[in-house]
A and B are shown apart, each in its own frame.
Chain A
Amino acid sequence: MVNVLLRYLNLVVVTLFILSLLSFLLAYLFPGQAVENLTGLRLDELSTLQNNQLKYAIDDNVFVQYWYYMGELFAGNWGVSFSSGLPLYEDIGHYLPASIELSAYALFLSFFIGLPLGFLAALQHHKLTDYGLLSVSLLGYSIPVFWLALIMILGFSLQLGWFPLSGRLSLIFEIPSITGFILVDILLSDSIDKQSALIDALRHLILPTLSIAIVTTTLILRITRRSVIETLNSEFILAAYARGLTPRQVLMRHGVRNALIPIWPLLAMQFPTLLTNAMIVESIFSWPGIGNWLIQAIYQQDYPAIRAGMLAVSVLVVIFTMSIDLTIRLTDPRRRRVGRAAI
């Protein structure tokens, strides 16, 4: 147990070290001066820049610079954006929760639809239901996310007018940002029309969530189906039947739990994909998330913003996948033998 924890801690620290080093080196890889890319200040803001030059020890060698860079990073001093001049740490803190919120809802939605359907398909293996679900899932994961989102906008927003076209919340509501998650913020706020704000936020959420969730749902369906089929073919299931259990008992007592174990890590691997899809969908629905922000930063060649945004997203992905992996290792005795941890 302690051994596993230490191994994972080691892995996390090493990976985070590599990521931070990469983000530091990006400042040198991008065009322009490194100190400009690190701080986001232009050369004409001379006096502040000189202070920062001292702070980042730009005249010293690269290793000393990296040390100071890490110091500033932990102090929450990530520099400012070239284009807006706003501090990046606050900016990312504002935009990242919106993306996480969108991905999390999509993930939950696809769980609730994908898992039961996967079980259904596996139990009806080689029957009409199975083939039907399999064909639908093939269509689902072949669809390009951005096209799906556009079709949804065309259909539901423009033709039918059921859902709003873009954004996160109608401008008539003024909700102070406390946690950054819009639904939580609305519940926490003491606004007069809490209910109508909540309904409005949900209406804004439906289309982006659906367009991300459809792809993930079909993937989860397939993963679940394969895992359940393989579990039901194993020998302990046969042994359970031999002991005279009914099919229902076999499934409930032995099937479900053993089938779910190999599913979890694969599902955890869906989160980065989900986040990437969310980044595309955000820019279509003008959702104020990190993807939209990052892509704008690339258009405007806002190097400090790209550097900080990349670091934030990759750290999030790494920590998420690692922690899921750790939970699996600690709960599933069969995986203890595996010597090397994989993220």
Chain B
Amino acid sequence: MPQSSLYQEEHHPSPLQYTWLEFKNNHIAVAGLFCFVFFLTITIFCPLLAPFDPNVQQIGDLLIPPAWDPNGGISHLFGTDALGRDLLSRIIYGCRMTFGISLLLVLVAMLLGVGLGGVAGMSRGFRSSFLNHTLDSIQAIPTLLIAIIIIAILGPGLVNSMWAIALALIPQFVHQTRDFVRHELSKEYIMAAKLDGASNTHIFFHSILPNMGEMLVVQATLALSVSILDISALGFLKLGAQAPSSELGAMLLEGIEVAYIAPWIIALPGGALFLMMISINLVGDGLRSALRNRLLH
């Protein structure tokens, strides 16, 4: 890397810095990261950013096209929907719901999954083989299918769909954590810690967990994209968030009725969802290849 070396001192970046240097070289991934930060900002500051209340109906302004259309107006930048609600505000609030809830679900699933995976990885014998067996069979089933099954039992609704998705995401984290712990346990630094008399919990928290961060971030981006797709798909199927809510999938479903005369009502929320997915996948991909290239050095 280009660094002016005034002194003879050699500079060795830490593994984290190495990852960042690799990641930075991938410009598309950095663009994805900016996009991700943009959505994060929207999620946090959305009441300040949205020009209107997302649920207020302006009876005089039904189905106004977006601003770039000849019939559109500047007061409603993305136009309005069939009930006269400002689409831009709805999309901003929708991003908050879809993105924010998914982020929350991934964090919850990660905490539980890492805990369970740690237990599964550290333990031997019956307990471990039972956990492995059940997990393997659950992992083959897609999360959306599991979520639909759980919703079939709990009944439709946003909170129920959140439970369902969080539960459906856990197995992947458990699986990854368990494999990682198994892999690390065979390494020599763990043996060194064992010879020093460290207990199993000590080894897990002080030796393995610090090394797991990057794997967890990569896995979390995967889980985040799955979770966003699932929550919006459930909203779209009327199994998750219900009609007046501004969840992006539920908005798409509402838009179908007027799709022919007002295609922007479908195109814009879907586009926001698409952009969200692209940014997350870009960051995830960039991170994965950065990690892979780092290991090659």
Residues in chain A within 8 A of chain B (CB atoms): 15, 18, 26, 29-30, 135, 138-139, 141-147, 150-151, 153-154, 158, 269, 272-273, 275-276, 279-280, 283, 294-295, 297-299, 301, 306, 310, 313-314, 317-318, 321, 340, 342-343
Contacts and interface: CB of A to CB of B under 8 A. Distances in A.
B152 A272 contact: no
Contact of B145 (A272, A297, A301): A272
Interface in B135-159: 136-137, 140-142, 144-145, 148-149, 151-153, 155-156
A158 B278 contact: no
Contacts of B152: 294, 297-298, 306, 310
Interface stretch (B16-24, B59-67, B116-124, B233-241): B233-241
A145 B237 contact: no
B229 A144 contact: yes
B274 A154 contact: no
Contacts of A297: 152
A63 to B, nearest CB: 21
Contact of A318 (B129, B137, B151, B285): B137
B274 A144 contact: yes
Nearest to A322: B140
Interface string B231-269: 011001111000000000100100010011001001100
B156 A298 contact: yes
11 contacts: A29-B153, A142-B278, A144-B233, A145-B233, A151-B267, A158-B259, A158-B260, A272-B145, A295-B237, A297-B152, A318-B137
A310 B148 CA distance: 9
A272 B140 contact: yes
* Dominant SS among interface residues on chain A: helix
Contacts of B140: 269, 272, 317-318, 321, 343
Interface of B: 28, 129, 132-133, 136-137, 140-142, 144-145, 148-149, 151-153, 155-156, 225, 229, 232-233, 236-239, 249, 252, 256, 259-260, 263, 266-267, 270, 273-274, 277-278, 281-282, 285
Contacts of A150: 252, 256, 259, 266, 270
Contacts of A340: 129, 132-133
Contact of A147 (B132, B260, B274, B285): B274
B238 A272 contact: no
B273 to A, nearest CB: 5
A298 B270 contact: no
Nearest to A147: B270
Nearest to B147: A276
A101 to B, nearest CB: 19
Given A26-B153, A295-B239, A298-B156, A147 B273 contact: yes
A146 B136 contact: no
Contact of A151 (B132, B238, B266): B266
Contacts of A269: 140
Nearest to B149: A310
A15 B281 contact: no
Contacts of A29: 153
A146 B260 contact: no
Given A144-B249, A295-B237, 5 more contacts: A142-B274, A144-B274, A146-B232, A151-B266, A317-B141
Given A147-B252, A151-B270, A343 B232 contact: no
A138 B270 contact: no
A343 B270 contact: no
A298 B239 contact: yes
A321 B134 CA distance: 15
Q: Most chain-B CB neighbours within 10 Å: which of A144, A150, A318? A: A144
A144 B141 contact: no
Contacts of A294: 148, 152
A314 B252 contact: no
A142 B224 CA distance: 12
Contacts of A145: 229, 233
Contact of A146 (B145, B236, B281): B236
Contacts of A146: 232-233, 236, 249, 252
B247 to A, nearest CB: 13
Contacts of B156: 298-299
Q: Most chain-B CB neighbours within 10 Å: which of A150, A280, A317, A340? A: A150
Contacts of B249: 144, 146
A142 B141 contact: no
B281 A280 contact: no
A340 B135 CA distance: 13
